[in-house]
Chain A
Amino acid sequence: MDRLLLFILLFPTITTAISFFIGKNHETARNAINILSTFINLVVVIYLYKYIKTGTLSFQISYVMGTGLNLKLDAFRYVFVLITSFIWFIVNIYSSQYLFNYIHRNRYHFFFMVTYISTLGIFISENIINLFTFFEIMSFSSYPLIIHDEDDEAHAAGWTYMSMAVAGGMILLMGIFILYSYTQVLNITQISYILPKLGSIKYVISGLLIIGFGIKAGLVPFHIWLPKAHPAAPTPASAILSGILVKTGIFGILITVIFLMNFDTYLSFAMLIFGFINIFTGGILALYPINIKKTLAYSTMSQMGYLFLGIGLIGLLKDHGYLAVYGTMFHIFNHAIFKVMLFMGVGIIYMITHELDINKLYGFGRFKPILKITFFIGFCAIIGLPGFNGYLSKTLIHHSLSEYLHHFSDFTRITVEILFTLGSSITTAYLLKLYISLFVEDNSRYYASYRKHINKRALFPMVISSFIIIYVGINPSIFQNYFFNIYDIFYIGNESIHQIHFYTFGNLLSSFSTIALGIVIYIKYVLPKLRMKKEGHLDYVDKTSNWVSLENNIYIPVSRILFNSSTFILKIFDNLFLKTAYFVSHSIKYASNVEFQSYVNPLDKLESVSHNLYETFKEKNENKKSNKGKSIKSNFEEKILNNKKKDHYNFQELEDKIKDYKIKSKENIKSNINKTVETSKSLKAKKDAAKKLKDNNNYTTIKKDFEETKYKMNSITYSIYIIGFVIVVVLLALIIFNS
């Protein structure tokens, strides 16, 4: 049965390959194969439940990929694998309908499935190199999904995403390198025995790993790709990006902080702080955007804050962390389901209207019952309304937070409680903005029913998700009953496991007060302050466009400075040798033309005769030379002026001209002395002329020609000077070394 672990990776690989090749001509067959293969995978995963109820599954192949393949599935990883398979199945059904009028469908489905396989691989890897492998494959295969529309917005989003993903991968790899050099083992369980015993280097290692995974999970300040990638990608891709791919980062951080570092206190406390930072940053930034997908992207970032909080609490509470473990794992499960559902709802709106602007979409869903109800269910789930699943997980995290704060002062306790409540109410506020604007306002444009545009295939996943949300909400202990052996993995002592009563008065009161506070924020801040009257309707405005943008004001200028300074330094090295040789030879050439004064001598007569000969010879050359110089210079100027009219630069003509010049000059010039100062002056004149006209000239070929002609010297001179230079340096070195 261990082979089933390999099966859930290999089987989709084979079906994806088949479906890619037949997908070019038979679209329905390809969609059918993909949906079927995800469905079979889901069935197999559900079947594997009975094995992980009692123990763990593992599977190994050595001697592959250098370090071997090591797969493992236990109850903790099973949660991730289950939601991955389920979400991919329903989004697959959804995207077969969504993409029907997009181009490049084949490419999309191929990379969709490859991302699925690699994400599954991340969650079942036991060897840290395998985890890194699948992590990188997932990053690279989600890039074509983001860039799918191929317009400017998509390319900008893809550029940010890719550079952060590659940088994250490199940081992660650095952490793994240092890890391996200290521990010499690669399996997670084995590392967890050795790593906590190292000195302070373990914080460097885990810091690098957390940053590497955190870039994927949306940890502040590495979250900048999230609000760019989500609006630019097609909706099913945004759904899985928010629902599952950021969870891979959470998975990695959880493994690092809890398992590799063995419930380390400092790291967990840092996670607690980061959790609150994320909740607030994401929440506040989600109040402003006009693009509805951007709101949902910031909402993901905020919900990830809850998960960081949960991870921190698991680490801090250690064996008493029953509530923290329960809450975190439950929230991972819930968030995947309701976030994907919200995205799918937004996607249906986009499918019909091709608009994402909240000011153009207001009142869209007022008379569309199914969409309205399902979206409302998702909305209630995420704000934590009692009766829905979000309420359960948020209550658990809230409880574990207060349990941790037991031994702190009252002041700290009350402050943290207020912060937590405030964070949750901001969630209510921004989602209320979205819901009321889309589904409650009145807009005569959208009175008609668009029933015929929406196929059952698109609504079916949403309906299924809503059923799950309500079902879990009504049966709160369902999660506990199925996943009770997670606690053994987290070393939770048996005495702290107790039955939770979710629907107590205290919990209900805190939940309702949070929601009420959120409604108050909405009414007092969002409605009056964020709207302006435009064409008879109160439109939302985005006030954050004047704020400091992390990406544009910090990341890009810093990287630009680094880039330009490194270019400057490294370009010096690039041309160092060449320019030194040129400088030396040019200066010696110049020195060789200096004339010395001659004495009065009996041989004067002879000298004067030869001097006269030399003068006439020089004059002859000067005439020819100045003509040549003039012709080249005027030729160049002519050419450059002509190109202002012409579109295409004629390289061949220039080549011929240079050839002409070379041949004629070769006939006249026989030795070094013939390279007079005039030649260098004419070169200089050429350079000045080119510099003057540089602004009108965008062709790099001309510049290249200039560079080439600058270095066109007599080869013998060139080589003699270089060899002489080398010999002089070597002799000097010998002298130094032997003294």
Chain B
Amino acid sequence: MNLEILLPILLPLIVGLAVGIVKPSYDKRNKIIIATTMINFFLVLYILIFKTNKILHLIKINEFLDLYLYPDKTGIIFAILVSSLWIFTTFYSIDYMGEKNNLSKFFMFFLITEGITLGIAFSGNLITLYLFYELLTLSTFPLVIEKGSELALNAGKKYLIYSFCGATMVLFGVILLFSQTQNLSFIPGGIVGSLVYGNKDIFLMVYLLLFLGFGVKAALVPFHSWLPSAMVAPTPVSSLLHAVAVVKSGIFALGRMTYYVLGWKVIEFTEGNKYTLVLVLLTILMGSFLAMHQENLKRRLAYSTISQLGYIMLALVIFDSSSYVGGMLHMLFHATIKITLFFCVGAIMHYENKTELHEIAGIGKKMPKTMISFTVASICLIGIPPTNGFVSKWFLAIGGLEQGSYLVPIILLLSAFFTAGYLIPVISTAFFKGNPAQEVEISEPNNFMLVPIILLASINVILGFFPNAIIDTIQLAADKLF
């Protein structure tokens, strides 16, 4: 029995519930949480080495409701990304949330979310994915409304409604799909195959429903409004949810749907990707353009996330091996970059209580290491070589050109220009504005916050200089699909 596959999912769930019920003291709780996330990471590595491509059946009620876990290469890459970034966020949130006593509920849902995200990563078929997807909404909702203020409650309500509407569309699509194929498992190349000939419209319907439904979680325009509103959550939640757990789960589910369930040849036959390409390009442009208008730093980064997710979705609507490599690379690189940016902004919010752009003038002299990491991460995001953002952008643009579309590189570069437009003012205000002759003493954040920030920033630069290992791995996966 491959019961070990269930372990990385169950361990955080159980420990989370225990933390929530027992409510240990501050020190004990920290130790338990750090230990759990680290053990989880090693469990995922264990599954990588020993248990790839092994099935674990959970429950089978009938042909439709057949839940099983099946970690394959894509899923394990996602799981490694999730579990490693969870460790950084744990350290960060221990310092950020402070020593308040009623935080057990927060950390309970924090750990439960990790388990559920890993469940999404390891799902073997579409119905299991849907189950964990719904559970993800439920388990992240208390994290969003953690502050308890009126604004937070409204944001949470909006988040719930958007997610459940999306999930409804997904369910409808799943039912339609099952009615045609009697099968919902993930197979490279898709399970539809030749069924599409003659039923083009139904499969177009299925594709659009599933794309829009999963797209809600992945912040596709026009279903993106929950993301800027959800920024009322505390920063560890915003950074993790909006860089790793929720939005990347949406993208991951979209990837599964495109390449493993429907298959790209089917989608190309039904010409559904032309409609979704329009939405994706609109997402890219709108996100980066409107980010320039936001004064609140976290909202700025939220719109930036919307735009960057559009980049990854380009991999899913342009069927070319270069853009697939670019999209997968961007999924990994964007997670680390965005987490760094959010951590820096969160450190400013926590230690200086400054949330708007005009308030942080001259803060680079007070928190130099934090703001230098922010600068490094912004340069990675804009896509300046030799950083990792350039590598993924290169592959995406080349893929677009190979498919004969000049619009894709133009929009990518336009969006990169806007990215510079909303990130460079932040850097410039932080370092070069404010009273230059004033002597300020350096008060950096605590080590629990500072070390993750610096580590993540350096990982970004290192990945930019030596990305070849990762590129080769993903290229292998791409060759199998195309």
Interface, chain A (partner B; CB < 8 A): 63-66, 103-104, 129, 132-133, 136-137, 140, 144, 147, 150, 155, 158, 162-163, 166-167, 169-171, 173-174, 177-178, 180-181, 566-567, 570-571, 573-578, 655, 658-659, 662, 700, 708, 711-712, 715, 718-719, 722-723, 726, 730, 733-734, 737-738
Contact of A155 with B385 at beta-carbon distance under 8 Å, contacts A65-B464, A574-B286, A577-B225 already known: no
For B150, B282, B397, B410, the residue with the greatest tally of chain A CB atoms inside 10 Å of its CB is B150
Given contacts A66-B468, A169-B384, 9 further A-B contacts (CB under 8 A): A103-B437, A129-B385, A133-B385, A140-B379, A166-B420, A170-B413, A178-B406, A573-B286, A737-B201
Q: Does B189 contact A (CB under 8 A)?
A: no
The reply to whether B161 and A715 contact each other, CB–CB distance below 8 Å, is: yes
Q: Are B433 and A726 in contact (CB under 8 A)?
A: no
- What 1/0 flags go to B315-345 for Cβ under 8 Å of A? 0000000000000000000000000000000
Give the contacts of B254-298 with A (CB-CB under 8 A): 282, 285-286, 289-290, 293, 295
B201/A150 in contact, CB under 8 A: no
> CB within 8 A of A181: which of B295, B401, B431?
B401
**B293 to chain A: closest residue by CB:** A567
Q: B154, B161, B172, B431: which contacts A719 (Cβ < 8 A)?
A: B161
* Residues in A whose Cβ lies below 8 Å from that of B459: none
Closest residue of A by beta carbon distance from B173: A730
A171 contact set on B, CB distance < 8 A: 413
- Where the two chains meet, the residues of B that have a C-beta atom closer than 8 Å to any C-beta of A are 149-151, 154, 157, 161, 164-165, 168-169, 172, 201-202, 204-205, 209, 221-225, 282, 285-286, 289-290, 293, 295, 379, 382, 384-386, 390-391, 394, 397-398, 401-402, 406, 409-410, 413-414, 416-417, 420-421, 424, 428, 431-433, 436-437, 464-468, 471
Q: Are B413 and A173 in contact (CB under 8 A)?
A: yes
Cβ contact within 8 Å between A722 and B289? no
A155 touches B222 (CB 8 A): no
Closest chain-B Cβ to A334's Cβ sits at a distance in Å of 33
Cα(A722)–Cα(B290), bound, Å: 25
Name the one of B150, B398, B402 contacting A659, with C-beta atoms under 8 angstroms: B150
Nearest chain B residue, comparing its CB with the CB of A174: B413
Q: Are B205 and A737 in contact (CB under 8 A)?
A: yes
- B201, B428, B465: most-surrounded residue (chain A CB, <10 A): B428
B385–A733 contact, CB under 8 A?
A: no
| Assembled-state Cα–Cα distance A284/B413 (Å) | 36
| B279 nearest CB neighbor, chain A only | A573
Return 21 A-B CB contacts under 8 Å, by A number. Answer: A64-B465, A64-B468, A66-B391, A66-B468, A103-B437, A129-B385, A133-B385, A150-B433, A166-B382, A166-B420, A174-B409, A181-B401, A574-B225, A574-B290, A577-B223, A578-B225, A659-B150, A723-B165, A730-B209, A733-B205, A738-B201
- Chain A's nearest CB lies how many Å from the CB of B22? 32
Q: Which residue of the partner chain A has the closest CB to B286?
A: A570
The one of A140, A177, A711 that contacts B409, using a Cβ cutoff of 8 Å: A177
In Å, the complex CA distance between A76 and B414 comes to 35
Q: Which of A137, A570, A726, A733 contacts B290 (CB 8 A)?
A: A570
B465 touches A65 (CB 8 A): yes
CA distance A63 to B391 in the complex (A): 13
Question: In whole angstroms, what is the CA distance A409 to B196 when docked?
Answer: 71
Q: State the Cβ distance, B40 to closest chain A Cβ, in Å.
A: 32
How far apart sit A175 and B402, CA to CA, in the bound complex (Å)?
Answer: 15
Chain A residues contacting B394 (CB-CB under 8 Å) are 66, 177
Q: Are A177 and B397 in contact (CB under 8 A)?
A: yes
Shortest CB-to-CB span from A144 to chain B, Å, is 7
A655 contacts B149, C-beta separation under 8 Å:
yes
- Whether the pair B168, A177 counts as a contact (CB closer than 8 A) is no
| B391: chain A residues within 8 A (beta carbon) | 66
Q: Which residue of chain A is the closest to B416 with respect to CB atoms? A: A170
- Cβ–Cβ < 8 Å partners of A174 in chain B: 409-410, 413
**Inside 8 A of A658's CB, which chain B residues have their CB?**
150
In whole Å, how far is B360's beta carbon from the nearest beta carbon of chain A? 15
**B209 proximity list for chain A (CB < 8 A):** 730
Q: Is the CB of B150 within 8 A of A655?
A: yes
- Chain A residues, Cβ within 8 Å of B464: 65
Instruction: Tell me the dominant secondary structure on chain B's binding face.
Output: helix
The smallest beta-carbon distance between A241 and chain B, in angstroms, is 18
Which of chain B's residues have a CB closer than 8 A to the CB of A167? 417
A125 to nearest B CB, angstroms? Answer: 11
- Are B282 and A63 touching (Cβ within 8 A)? no
Measured CB to CB, the closest approach of chain B to A732, in angstroms, equals 12
User: A726 and B169: CB pair below 8 A?
Assistant: yes
CA distance A596 to B384 in the complex (A): 66
B432 touches A150 (CB 8 A): yes
Instruction: Given the known inter-chain contacts A63-B468, A155-B432, A719-B161, please indicate yes or no for A178 contacting B401, CB distance below 8 A.
Output: yes
- Cα distance, A155 to B428, chains bound together (Å): 9
For residue B169, which residues in chain A have a CB less than 8 angstroms away from its CB? Answer: 726, 730
Most buried by A among B221, B386, B417: B386
Residues A66 and B161 in contact in the complex (CB < 8 Å), given A103-B437, A181-B401: no
Looking at the assembled complex, report how far the CB atom of A147 sits from the nearest CB atom of chain B, in whole angstroms.
5
Most buried by B among A575, A577, A733, A734: A577
Contacts of A576 in B (CB 8 A): 222
Q: Is the CB of B222 within 8 A of A734?
A: no
Q: A166-B417, A578-B225, A738-B201 are in contact. Are A723 and B168 (CB under 8 A)?
A: yes
How many angstroms from the CA of A144 to the CA of B432 in the assembled complex?
8
The one of B205, B282, B382, B437 in contact with A573, judged by C-beta atoms closer than 8 angstroms, is B282
A147 x B384 contact (CB < 8 A): no
Give every chain B residue within 8 A of A64 (Cβ-Cβ): 465-466, 468
Please measure, in the bound complex, the distance between the C-alpha atom of A722 and the C-alpha atom of B379, giving whole angstroms.
40
Q: With A129-B385, A133-B386, A715-B161 in contact, is A567–B225 under 8 Å at CB?
A: no
Query: Is A150 a contact of B436 with CB atoms below 8 Å?
Result: yes
Contacts of A723 in B (CB 8 A): 165, 168
Nearest CB in chain A: distance from B172 CB, A:
7
Query: Which residue of A is nearest B303, CB measured?
Result: A574
Residue of A65, A659, A733, A738 ringed by the most chain B CB atoms within 10 A: A65
Interface centre among B172, B282, B385 (most CB of A within 10 A): B385
CA distance A578 to B154 in the complex (A): 13
List 10 tightest A-B contacts by C-beta distance, closest first: A133-B385, A181-B401, A737-B201, A170-B413, A577-B222, A576-B222, A570-B286, A65-B386, A166-B420, A136-B384
For residue A172, which residue of chain B has the nearest CB? B413
B417 in complex: contacting residue of A170, A573, A711, A738, CB < 8 Å: A170
Closest to B385 in A: A133
Cα–Cα, bound, A638→B411 (Å): 49
* Smallest Cβ-Cβ distance to B424: which chain A residue: A162
Q: List the B side residues contacting A574 at CB < 8 Å.
A: 221-222, 224-225, 286, 290
Nearest neighbor of B415 in chain A, beta-carbon distance: A170
Q: Which residues does chain B contribute within 8 Å of A737, judged by CB atoms?
A: 201-202, 204-205
Known A-B contacts A166-B420, A723-B165; A573 and B471 likewise in contact (beta carbons under 8 Å): no
B402→A181 contact, CB < 8 A: yes
Of B154, B221, B293, B402, which one neighbours A712 at CB under 8 angstroms? B154
Residues on the A chain within 8 Å of B428, using CB: 147, 155, 158
Judging by beta carbons under 8 Å apart, are B432 and A147 in contact? yes
> A733: which B residues are within 8 A, CB to CB?
205
Question: Distance (Å) between the CB of B180 and the closest chain A CB?
Answer: 14
A residues less than 8 Å from B385 (CB atoms) = 65, 129, 132-133, 136
A571 proximity list for chain B (CB < 8 A): 290
Q: Which residue of A lies closest to B149 (CB)?
A: A655
Return the chain B residue nearest A132 by Cβ.
B385
Min CB distance B142 to A, Å, is 16
A654 nearest CB neighbor, chain B only:
B150
Q: A170-B413, A708-B151, A738-B201 are in contact. Are A719 and B164 (CB under 8 A)?
A: yes
A567 touches B150 (CB 8 A): no
Q: Which residues of A contact B471 (CB under 8 A)?
A: 66
Shortest distance from the beta carbon of B373 to any chain A beta carbon, whole Å: 16
Knowing A140-B379, A574-B290, the reply to whether A715 touches B467 (Cβ < 8 A) is no
> Min CB distance, A73 to chain B, in Å?
21
Contacts of A147 in B (CB 8 A): 428, 432
